[in-house]
């Protein structure tokens, strides 16, 4: 059996060394494969434009291919990225009905029944005003502005207090882990 991708490596190696004929043979050899990859990945209407973009990217970046590596994965990666770029440009989203694979999805993570109590115990170790900031932002989901208004503090002061409180909680946690 003849290994086409091995030929690609030899051709691109020769092309990078300046052999124009080898470069032409390389492009002629990879183009049908690129076209198939683009069509298979959903190139759609502008598939030939994507193929041309892939070939242009190969041309402009061919010196970045490491000669000790196989060339096929390098070519496939460029093709995959150009297909993704094309989808992004046209704003296409692929929608797959969840029913087709919902059996394979992991279950919702169950919260530990003691987690809320653990959080309350840790927050209670903070100074009362700091604990109130952590609860408001971290547990209740309030914004810095809401918390500041509620506690008659500036938004910046709330941010500083939250940062210091979280640092303190991290220190407390480390001490508990050591025990």
* pLDDT over threshold 50, residue 164: yes
* Residue 1 confidence (pLDDT): 35
3-state secondary structure of 152: coil
On whether the CB atoms of residues 139 and 119 are closer than 8 A, the answer is yes
Domains in the chain, CATH or no CATH each: 4-90 (1.10.1740.10), 115-178 (1.10.10.10)
Can you tell me the mean pLDDT for 13-42? 88
Summarised one tens digit per residue, pLDDT across range 87-132 is: 777 775 656 566 655 565 566 666 565 555 677 888 888 999 999 9
Q: Which token pair is 48?
A: 């030939």
Per-residue DSSP letter, 99: G
User: Rounded to the nearest 5°, which phi and psi values hold at 91?
Assistant: 70, 25
* pLDDT over threshold 50, residue 166: yes
45 or 85: which leads in pLDDT: 85
* pLDDT over threshold 90, residue 160: yes
Q: What number of other Cβ atoms are within 10 A of residue 150's Cβ? A: 13
How far apart CA 157 and CA 99 sit, in angstroms, is 48
How far apart CA 131 and CA 33 sit, in angstroms, is 62
174: nearest Cα among 127, 122, 135: 122
* Residue 95 confidence (pLDDT): 60
């Amino acid at each position: 059996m003849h290994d086409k991708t091995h030929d690609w490596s030899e051709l691109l190696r020769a092309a990078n060394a300046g052999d124009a004929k080898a470069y032409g043979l390389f492009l002629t050899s990879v183009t049908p494969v690129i076209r198939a990859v683009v069509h298979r990945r959903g190139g759609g209407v502008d598939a030939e434009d994507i193929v041309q973009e892939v070939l242009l990217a190969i041309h402009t970046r061919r010196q970045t291919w490491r000669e000790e590596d196989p060339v096929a994965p390098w070519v496939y990666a460029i093709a995959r990225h150009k297909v993704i770029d094309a989808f992004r440009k046209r704003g296409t989203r692929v929608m797959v009905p969840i029913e087709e694979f919902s059996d394979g999805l992991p279950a919702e993570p169950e919260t530990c029944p003691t987690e809320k109590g653990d959080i309350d115990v840790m927050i209670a170790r903070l100074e009362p005003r700091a604990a109130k900031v952590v609860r408001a932002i971290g547990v209740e989901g309030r914004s810095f502005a809401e918390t500041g208004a509620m506690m008659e503090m500036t938004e910046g002061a709330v941010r500083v207090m939250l940062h210091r409180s979280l640092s303190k909680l991290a220190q407390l946690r480390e001490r508990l882990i050591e025990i």
